[in-house]
Structure formats: structure tokens, C-alpha cells
């Protein structure tokens, strides 16, 4: 039997401690499956004396993760520090340059420096594995990098942030406001004290940028993503969506078009009958549309210590199964130096149309003026509904107008809404939500 695979872990938070726990509790199973033992031989963290609820055994302690990354006492460096720069970047680079395999759960690092790190890994003949960086325990990276060989991907989309999905689910099921749901998510540990990174779409955007590179063989482009968060979603939107036969989800969507690649993160209305509409709570889901397989949808735990640890262990196990001299595949499915430059698609028709909610003054001519602005911008309406807000003290002074459009362009919608604003009819900010076809 081959010698033990020596693993060094930098970062002993929830995920790092969970990885050690899995290796300790499931060591015999891993040894049988991999044909060799997996041993945690070294660790690094900020506080040597902190009680993490796990035994570090005889693992060597390193105060500096960069020293650990360069150590001759490890074969695999597991980076769980976090952050796109600083110690995370420097230690991963050091490990790869030292000829060590790397496993990371750091989507921010990969979104910003993934291509450069992939080049170093490929030059040195080592692996850079990152299953845990996208969708937690769902094996979407392995599927896209290996299992879909020969398939041409046309679109990849999904629910990539459990915090947002939990909040939207609670708003729908418990009829509770966004602020109340966010507070509950923070109490349960699903949301950070400062939830901006999650609720404004940044976390989803980082994950989407990685999936886009895998799907289309292009360089990672996290700054070329149209992004909206969920903080402006109200109970009125949730209720209106339900009445129209939809649920609201925060989706990350990437698709290839004739003019380039489109990447966007935003609240989306999906049909209640679709599979992705049934993905509730902190669960994640990723759908991949291909020419050979058709549509593949995977769902599962998207966050949490054990879900992320499972993905980390899977990456480590893949390394344990490889043998000296084995030629490793490219990090992003195509050799890093041959990844195509990212070309952003020009604005085009949106296949699913739009939901538009307007709070307008209750006076003659408003309804007609709105319809005219839509017609002036060649927007075809599927439905238009005017209603009073029952129980609202201002209901006698204002009305809610809900529009559902057929396919149109983003620019046309923006121009129409700007025109309605200029007309002076709005009494609150307009709400615009895309309607997405979904499996």
C-alpha cells in the first residue's frame, strides 16, 4: 500500500475543524477507498490555544501559513483561511511553487486570481482542487471538469447562496418581512453580522464567475457580472409572484450568446412548477444545460461545516488516489494559458420577460401613461393589473400597477421606467424582476 498522504491545513475555523473530525472519524473508510491513509500532519491558525472541539493529535503547528505551505512535511496544502489576497493568496502560491497539491474552499481567491494560480499548478504538475468553493457539498466542479467531457454547455444557472435562499423561502412561507427574516438568519448562524456580501449578490457572483470559466473555457471575469441583491424584495413582490404562479429566487445565470458571454446575478421569478422553485431553505442548486446530456440539475447543502468539509475531503481523496507520474487535468477544464479572453455579450432580448411593480398616484390618466411608455419602447405586455393596497392608509391616494412583459431588452425596460419616473407618476421606487425559464 502507498505511503500516507500528508495533509497540512491552514485555517481551523468551522470547516477546518470539521475536516479534521472527518479524517479522524472516517479514516479507515478513506484508507480503504483511496488505497492509502490520509493523515493531517500539520496545521496553522491564528490562536494555538483555542479550543476547537477536535484533537490535533501530533500535527505540527505553524504560526505562519506560508511556512506550512512550503514545508517538506506535507503533500497537500488545504487553504481554509479565506479572503482574496493576503495570507490566503501568498500561501497557496507558495504551496504550488513548492510542488504541493492544493485544495481550497476560497471562491473569492479563485474569482480574483484563479487563472494565475492555475498556470502555476499546471507548470508544476500539481493539482489545484476547489470543489468546496462553489455550492458547498454539491459536486458540481467535478461534474463540469470531468463528467461532462464532450458536452457543449450553453447555459449554467442556479441558487448559489443559502443565506438568500433561506430569507426568500421564509418570506414566502411565513409571510414575514425581509428585515425580520434576515435577523432570524443571523440568529441561526446562516447570515453574518454584516450580511452585505451575501444579500447584495457578491458571494453568488464569485461562484458564478468560476462556473462560467468551467462552462465556456474562458478566463474568470468577476467584474463583468451584472449584479442585484435581494434587499429590495418586499412582501408585496413575494405575494404578487405567488399570485402569478411564480417564486422569487436569487439566481446566478451565465449563458453563451452570439456576441459573447452573459453573466448576471439578480432576483428572478421562476415558475412554481419548475424543479428549481422547489429548492428552499439553505439548500443550493446548480443547473447545467448541454447539447448531449440535456439539462442536469444538482441540489444539496450549500454551506455549513460538514457540507464544505465533505467537498474538501473529496478533493483530498482524489489526490490520494492519484499516483506519481499521473498527468493531471487542467484546473479549469482547459489549460490555463489557453483559456479564451472573456467577451461580454451585448444586451439582448431576455427570454422570460419582466415583472414590473409600480406604486403610482391614484389619478386619471396614469394607467394610460404607463401603457404608452411601454408601447413607445416596443414592449409587449402579457398582462397589466391595477389594484388598491388593502389595509394601507394611503390606499386612497396610491395604487399598485403590476405589469408582466413578453420578451424584451434590458435597455427598453430601463428607458420605459425612466420615462414613467419623468412623468411624475411614481410614489415609490419601481421594482423590476426578471422572469426566467427554468427546469
Q: Compute the residue count for the chain.
A: 439
Measured distance between the N- and C-terminal CA atoms of the chain, rounded to whole angstroms: 46
C-alpha dist (Å) from residue 41 to 17, 32, 126, 317, 401: 14, 19, 19, 16, 63
Q: Which ranges constitute the DSSP H helices of 46-103?
A: 65-70, 86-97
**Residue in the block written with cell 450580511:** 195
- How many angstroms separate the CA atoms of 185 and 196, rounded? 13
Told to judge if 207 belongs to the known catalytic residues of this protein, a careful annotator would answer: yes
**Host H or E run for residue 5:** strand 5-10
Give the active site residue among 107, 207, 256, 399: 207
A 10 A CB-CB count for 14 gives 18
- How many angstroms separate the CA atoms of 306 and 295, rounded? 28
Which candidate, 384, 376, 375, places its Cα nearest to that of 355?
384
Show the CA angle centred on residue 126, arms to residues 121 and 129, nearest 5°: 80
Q: Spell out a b/e string for 302-325, using b for 16 or more CB atoms within 10 Å of the CB, else e.
A: bbbbbbbbbbbbbbbbbbbeeeee
Q: Is the dihedral of CA 163, 169, 171, 173 positive or negative?
A: negative
DSSP 8-state secondary structure symbol assigned to residue 131: G
Q: Which residues are catalytic?
A: 207
Amino acid at each position: 500500500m502507498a505511503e500516507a498522504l500528508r495533509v497540512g491545513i491552514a485555517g481551523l475555523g468551522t470547516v477546518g475543524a470539521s475536516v479534521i473530525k472527518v479524517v479522524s472519524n472516517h479514516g479507515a473508510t478513506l484508507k480503504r477507498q483511496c488505497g492509502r491513509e490520509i493523515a493531517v500532519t500539520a496545521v496553522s491558525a491564528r490562536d494555538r490555544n483555542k479550543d476547537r472541539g477536535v484533537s490535533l493529535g501530533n500535527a505540527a503547528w505553524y504560526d505562519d501559513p506560508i511556512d506550512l505551505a512550503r514545508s517538506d512535511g506535507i503533500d497537500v496544502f488545504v487553504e481554509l483561511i479565506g479572503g482574496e489576497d493576503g495570507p490566503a493568496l501568498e500561501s497557496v502560491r507558495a504551496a504550488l511553487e513548492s510542488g504541493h497539491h492544493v485544495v481550497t474552499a476560497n471562491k473569492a481567491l479563485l474569482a480574483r486570481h484563479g487563472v494565475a494560480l492555475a498556470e502555476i499548478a499546471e507548470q508544476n504538475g500539481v493539482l489545484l482542487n476547489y470543489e468546496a468553493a462553489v455550492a458547498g457539498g454539491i459536486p458540481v466542479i467535478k461534474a463540469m471538469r470531468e463528467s461532462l467531457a464532450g458536452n457543449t454547455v450553453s447555459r449554467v444557472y442556479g441558487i448559489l447562496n443559502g443565506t438568500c435562499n433561506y430569507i426568500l423561502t421564509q418570506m414566502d412561507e411565513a409571510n414575514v418581512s425581509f428585515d425580520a427574516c434576515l435577523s432570524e438568519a443571523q440568529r441561526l448562524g446562516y447570515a453574518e453580522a454584516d450580511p452585505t456580501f451575501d444579500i447584495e449578490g457578491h458571494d453568488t457572483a464569485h461562484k458564478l464567475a468560476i462556473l462560467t470559466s468551467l462552462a465556456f473555457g474562458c478566463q474568470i471575469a468577476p467584474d463583468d457580472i451584472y449584479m442585484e441583491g435581494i434587499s429590495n424584495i418586499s412582501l408585496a413582490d413575494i405575494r404578487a409572484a405567488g399570485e402569478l404562479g411564480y417564486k422569487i429566487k436569487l439566481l446566478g445565470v451565465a449563458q453563451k450568446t452570439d456576441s459573447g458571454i452573459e453573466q448576471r446575478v439578480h432576483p428572478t421569478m421562476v415558475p412554481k412548477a419548475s424543479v428549481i422553485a422547489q429548492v428552499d431553505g439553505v439548500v443550493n442548486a446548480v443547473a447545467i444545460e448541454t447539447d448531449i446530456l440535456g439539462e442536469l440539475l444538482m441540489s444539496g447543502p450549500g454551506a455549513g461545516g460538514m457540507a464544505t468539509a465533505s467537498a474538501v475531503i473529496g478533493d483530498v481523496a482524489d489526490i490520494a488516489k492519484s499516483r506519481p507520474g499521473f498527468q493531471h487535468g487542467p484546473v479549469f477544464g482547459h489549460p490555463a494559458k489557453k483559456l479564451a479572453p472573456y467577451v461580454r455579450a451585448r444586451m439582448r432580448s431576455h427570454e422570460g420577460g419582466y415583472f414590473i411593480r409600480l406604486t403610482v398616484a391614484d389619478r386619471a390618466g396614469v394607467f394610460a401613461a404607463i401603457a404608452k411608455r411601454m408601447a413607445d419602447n416596443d414592449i409587449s405586455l402579457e398582462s397589466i393589473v391595477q389594484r388598491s393596497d388593502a389595509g394601507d392608509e394611503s390606499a386612497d391616494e396610491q395604487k399598485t400597477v403590476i405589469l408582466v412583459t413578453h420578451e424584451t431588452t434590458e435597455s427598453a425596460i430601463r428607458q420605459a421606467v425612466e420615462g414613467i419616473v419623468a412623468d411624475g407618476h411614481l410614489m415609490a421606487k419601481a421594482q423590476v424582476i426578471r422572469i426566467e425559464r427554468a427546469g
